[in-house]
Structure 1
């Protein structure tokens, strides 16, 4: 592998570990757990893995180690730090027993089904330490969701003497891990399953999963780009930049990037939903800020837009829900020859309210709402050009406003893939390595149906706390592809939480001023306060005194 000077330097970086993981560890068993919602339904569906106790690790002695053959699967979209999860998993397995082996399944869950894997020995793992991407074994979005597939996974694992799997993924992938763990227990297959929390969107978190890995790095990459654009805007003074950011189901990335860069406008989808704001209302609010800045002679600015905005507008959310059911149950739709026939077909199946909304949408936008769904049955919001729609509607609004005497020229951007495979920040490099070590310890302790966690992550890494949380504890029932299914509950932006309250207290000031912050690129070498700092979101969430200092807005 050809390496840049930065890659060579990063390969020498030794991730920092919590003190409790540096040497031998002891398992501490806590209280039994319950599902976050729909307890009776979840318990009925997971009788063998429901109610498991929380566990943590602390310095101490461990018992004799068995020989472990562990398979690891990278599932879903890429996130910075995945290679360090594998590095931590590999190193701790070898530390526990040098005869332990780690196998990487190729291409995500498909590798499990096809029995396609490689032996992850030290030479391979060393090539990928502290690097971005998932290219060590690749990833995939295939869902393993029927008994025939479960049995195929069991057969392939037993064939290769693999007695544990580590699933590295987001909420859907870890839901699948929980289902596998339950099935393996029911069948007495002797195969453990441990999950690791991955997603740059930041929506896989709770009281134990403080942040999903990759969020820190991705937000720092996006914030650098936003800062660059804001510096250009402040230099040229002639463009409004509408920037769509990753985040289908929550606005954590948009909020974090707003806290890092201080844009003129940042839309938070959860707030749109709470106050039932329409598309026209959002457009009107943007236009008012444009006018106010134009009155100061500043015909430029930045607008941050969460990727999943359209799903949070109440009327469009209801429309999308109906569209999901129609597209899942009416395959004849795809055989219709023309766009107009398809639109008429759907309109005839919608409720009166949704039909009215659907009929009012521009053809291009309506078509984007009916594109093929992802493997989980969700609309692919990354293909919906919300940023262009807002530009067009703001332009139209200002053209009709006789009191507007400024200029409005807009550029659109979408930052997505730019952040998914970046070299992990020091925080993500350390955090992911610790997660990998923790997953190995959970396996060695005989646990299954757990997700590895690291807590106290806003402080120094030596004080981090490692452990495992039962995946069933995070689950609730949701409608997917027209059916109620158990899934890990997504964490939305908390409108009463410190990060949003900080943003809310500043946004009026940011709207009219040009007090932009230019974060610059991720720093890997230098003072700890520059290189090791976690996200603004994480710092604010764990700052208990913050709300007392806020001025009510």
Structure 2
């Protein structure tokens, strides 16, 4: 393989493990658990895997030989830095249990399990991918494991390969499906365990036992480097406002973390906008006021961070999108009628089929944004939020507001915009030292959960603001994180998404500083991820974690 000088050096890196996992290990069971909400309903749906205890691994067990274990691993959903190290940790862990243990990777995500497409992951393969970004070792996919026929097809190949367990590496939906699969196999006494690992750069899979999802640290460091570069450019050229959209549809953790790292002039937090029931007009007025005040100080430049899913948190837009999803749902008569129209007639037609309030909002939008809201829906029938150029919507509306302010004598500056969307740039970066260590520990912990016969658990590594040797490894029952939510018209058990907590320390700190950052130019330039050097430069966790544990 042709690899870079950095890749050669990273291949030599040995991820750090918690001290408790370095020698003989013993399992310690804690208190029985219950779901975060809807306890009766969740227990009825998961009679075999509900109420299991928390578990932790401590040093001091008997260093005895064990039977080999065969494990299948699946990468599910979008990429996140560190996935290869989770797989490396599983591989090394099961080989330590017994050198005859085998690891199989199912190709292309959960669909590989159903379609019986797999490869045995040998040391020769694993060693090429240690400490690298991406999911290309076996590929990922978004097939949902929800139907019994899928479970049964998976069981067929599990029996053929003599698998003791499946490890599913994914986000909240993937781990919900892993829990359903664990319950099904337990009910059938199939002899196949299911373990999950917490993955998502969005940072919305977290709770008391899962302090962060892997990949969040690396992705936010990549985005923050780019934001810092743009801030330096803005402060040099002094003539542009940069509107930057950041990944994060359901939560604003990425935006908040990047703001804490870089101190931009404006950062919108979707959860706050929803809490305050702010309208688009409120948001635009807030942004325009900051632009005008900076211009009054002779600073016709700045940087604004905008969460990808922002418009779904604005009440009037949320209502509009819900109506559009119904109006343009695939296969409906209205969707067919819409597609028969000339493109030049479509926006007027849509407006005529909305309620008065939504029609007024729709007609107030720039034509390009209105058109984006009518594009083909995602597989769930919802508007594809990532395709909506929210940054341009706000930029154009702020420009209109400033034009009106100029006519009224309230703004005498200049306003020129540059637009950016940082998404895929962060998903497959080479993992930071933190993520390389964290992911390896998660995988290694998953191997121990398998060896202890556990199922329906998610691998958990905690105490993450301490040095890696002091991290606490264990497992948390997935049912502990669940509640009931309406999905496609039916109540279903799902892992509760973690949104930005408006009474949490990270957000409160941000609020205490955002006024200074808005009107001053107090930019921080984090620079690229550092892999070599002192620990306070290379091994630091996110600002969010540091503030949460302060």
Q: Secondary structure at the match of 2:204?
A: coil
Q: Residues 105 and 363 (structure 1 numbering): CA distance in 2 closer, same or farther, change over 3 Å?
A: same
Range with bigger deviation, 314-323 or 519-528: 314-323
**More deviation in 246-255 or 356-365?**
356-365
Give the match for residue 86 of structure 1. Answer: 87
> In the alignment, what sits opposite 2:168?
167
Q: Is the 8 A contact 1:328 1:481 kept in 2?
A: no
Task: State the distance in 2 between where 1:327 and 1:43 align.
Answer: 37
Match of 2:417 among 382, 404, 410: 410
- TM alignment of 1:481-520, pairs within 5 A: 481-520=488-527
- Structure 2: how far apart are the matches of 1:326 and 1:55? 48
Who is 1:387 aligned against?
391
- Which stretches in structure 1 are left out of the alignment for 5+ residues? 544-553
Counterpart residue number, 1:434: 441
**What is aligned with 1:312?**
313
Structure 2 residue corresponding to 1:472, chosen from 449, 465, 479: 479
Further displaced range: 183-192 or 403-412: 183-192
- Note the alpha carbon deviations across 1:207-237, whole angstroms, 9 max, x for none: 0000000000000000000000000000000
- Residue in 2 that maps onto 1:551: none
Seen in structure 2, the aligned counterparts of structure 1 residues 261 and 96 have a Cα distance that, compared at 3 Å, is same
- Give the Å deviation of 1:83: 0.4
Partner of 2:431, secondary structure, is coil
Whole-Å Cα distance in 1 between the matches of residues 385 and 469 of structure 2?
40
Task: Tell me whether 1:3 sits opposite 2:17 in the alignment.
Answer: no
Q: CA deviation at 1:49?
A: 1.1
Question: Distance in 2 between the 1:331 and 1:56 partners?
Answer: 52
Query: Cα distance, 1:322 vs. partner?
Result: 4.2
SS at match of 2:288: helix
Aligned residue-pair number: 543
TM-score, normalised to structure 2's length?
A: 0.95
Question: Does the CA contact (< 8 Å) of 2:330 and 2:381 recur in 1?
Answer: no
Displacement of 1:481 after TM fit?
A: 2.4
Residues 100, 529 of structure 1: alpha-carbon distance in 2 compared, 3 angstrom cutoff = same
Structure 2: distance between partners of 1:323 and 1:152:
37
**Aligned equivalent of 1:185:** 186
Equivalent residues of 1:165, 1:193 under 8 A apart: yes
Structure 2 alignment gaps of length 5 or more: none
- Aligned pair in 2 of structure 1 residues 519, 156: CA closer, same or farther (>3 Å)? same
Separation of aligned partners in 1, 2:252 and 2:107: 32
Against the structure 1 CA distance between its residues 377 and 60, is the aligned structure 2 distance closer, same or farther, given a 3 Å change threshold? farther
Is the partner of 2:340 in helix, strand or coil?
A: coil
CA RMSD of aligned residues (A): 1.8
2:474 and 2:380 mapped to 1: Cα distance? 29
Q: Give 1:40's aligned residue.
A: 40
Is the aligned partner of 1:137 residue 2:144? Answer: no
Q: Once the two structures are superposed, what CA deviation does each residue of 1:399-440 show, in whole Å capped at 9, x if it has no partner?
A: 111321100000000000000000000000000000000000
Shift of 1:64: 5.2
Q: 1: CA distance between counterparts of 2:129 and 2:388?
A: 34
CA distance in structure 2 between the aligned counterparts of 1:321 and 1:106, rounded to whole angstroms: 35
Structure 2 CA distance for aligned equivalents of residues 194 and 328 of structure 1: 36
In 1, the alpha carbon distance for the partners of 2:357 and 2:207 equals 35
Q: Deviations over 1:249-304 (max 9, x none)?
A: 00000000000000000001111011110011101111000100101111000000
Aligned match of 1:222: 223
- For the Cα contact (< 8 Å) 1:115–1:156, is it kept in 2? yes
- Paired position in structure 2 for 1:18: 18
| Partner Cα separation in structure 1 for residue 326 and residue 215 of structure 2 | 32
Moved more, 293-302 or 39-48: 39-48
Cα distance in 2, alignment partners of residues 372 and 117 from structure 1: 33
Q: 1:176 to 1:325 in 2, by over 3 A?
A: farther
Displacement of 1:352:
5.6
Separation (CA, whole Å) in 2 of partners of 1:138 and 1:48: 31
Match of 1:253 in 2: 254
Q: What is the SS of the residue equivalent to 1:244?
A: strand
